[in-house]
Amino acid sequence: MRRTGLVYDEQYLGHRPGEWHPERPARLEAIIQRLQDTGLMEELTLIRPYQAPVSWVEKLHDPDYIKRFQTACQKGYTIFGVPDCGICPESFDIALLAVGGVFAAVDNIMSGTVDNAFCAVRPPGHHAEHNRALGFCFFNNIALGAVYILENYGLERVAIVDWDVHHGNGTQHFFESDPRVFYLSLHEDPDSCYPGTGRRQEEGSGRGKGFTLNIPLPGGSGDEDYLKALEQEGLPRLREFAPQFVLISAGFDAHEDDPLAHQNLTRQAYKKMGAMVLQLALDHAEGRLISVLEGGYSLTVLANCVEDHLRLLLGND
Ligand SMILES: [Zn+2]
């Protein structure tokens, strides 16, 4: 058995992007309900998040953008930047708490309190750019987590595996010229799916060339396609990189029942992808692994897949 942390706080339910919005508080409620119903919650170490200091958020996001987001919330605006980025007065503080949730997970792993962790946070982060909110995201939780690992703890190589069905444009852009972060994304083909980035030829630039690997998969792809892509192409490159810390942008929206995309993964595929990435962390990174929730809009799929993933992290699957 491993010690697995769960980052969660009821405050995350307070981000209300609009009644119509698929990225709704019920997503986390479904996850927490399942962990309680199965007794899994008692096996996990609850990690309380803190609000990330703005000085850390400024390491990737434009100070003026941060200010504009804060002001929009204070003024009671209901959207920020683009129509799909719905906000409420609490959204700014909660977005800082989502970033700080990843930081708290890093702290707990680096101090040895837990071996790995899952961050049940919202709003999600991987579409958030330097000075733009996009695709339900405001601050890039996982990218800031990587910077925190590198700069606060002095590690030199962090791998980010992004299996959300959408390409993590923000994460890629932050690190495309940075050889300290290897960004691997498996996502639905940009021609048929938001946000339209993540083509094969985007493979980093300057000193970061070769440290970005995009594997777009056509709509309708299933378990075998994803597992083959990860096992035969993604993992060999990650092993060559030899990360000291592994992060997963864990979206569960490539599932066949997800309402927002067109892929056909089953619960089994997520289980197997999780096992492969965990093995990478065990072999190269002393088991240091943090999964950060991104998308996933079917409540049943979320509960199923997160339950499986946590059992895997604990080693009791
Ligand atoms: Zn997504």
Q: In this predicted model, what pLDDT tens digit does every residue of 13-40 receive, in sequence order? A: 999 999 999 999 999 999 999 999 999 9
Q: What is the model's pTM? A: 0.98
Q: Residue 317: pLDDT above 80? A: no
Q: Per the residue annotation, which of 15, 61, 126, 127 is the catalytic one?
A: 127
Q: Residue 209: pLDDT above 90? A: yes
Q: What is the pLDDT of residues 62-93, one digit of tens each?
A: 999 999 999 999 999 999 999 999 999 999 99
Q: Give me ligand 1 centre to Cα 198, in Å.
A: 13
Q: Give me ligand 1 centre to Cα 154, in Å.
A: 30
Mark 187-213 as b/e (b = at least 16 C-beta within 10 Å).
bbbbeebbbebbeeebbbeeebeebbb
Total domains in the chain come to 1
Give Cα separations from 309 to 106, 158, 190 (angstroms). 18, 21, 27
Token pair for residue 215? 């594997």
Give Cα separations from 278 to 225, 245, 313 (angstroms). 20, 11, 7
Q: Give me ligand 1 centre to Cα 82, in Å.
A: 16
pLDDT for the residue numbered 33: 98
Q: What is the pLDDT of residues 118-172, one digit of tens each?
A: 999 999 999 999 999 999 999 999 999 999 999 999 999 999 999 999 999 999 9
User: Closest by alpha carbon to 23, among 193, 166, 130, 157?
Assistant: 166
Q: Residue 142's domain spans which residues?
A: 4-314
127 is catalytic: yes
Q: Give me ligand 1 centre to Cα 46, in Å.
A: 25
Cβ neighbours for 125, distance < 8 A, ≥ 6 positions apart: 98, 99, 137, 138, 139, 140, 141, 142, 143, 144, 170, 171, 292, 294
> In percent, how much of the chain has pLDDT > 90?
99
Q: What is the CA radius of gyration of the chain?
A: 18
Token pair for residue 30? 């479904």
Identity (one letter) of the amino acid at 153? Y
Q: Residue 21 maps to which CATH number?
A: 3.40.800.20
**Ion ligand 1, residue ranges at CB < 5 A:** 164, 166, 251, 253, 295
d(CA 289, CA 54): 25
Q: Give me ligand 1 centre to Cα 294, in Å.
A: 6
Token pair for residue 187? 């996502």
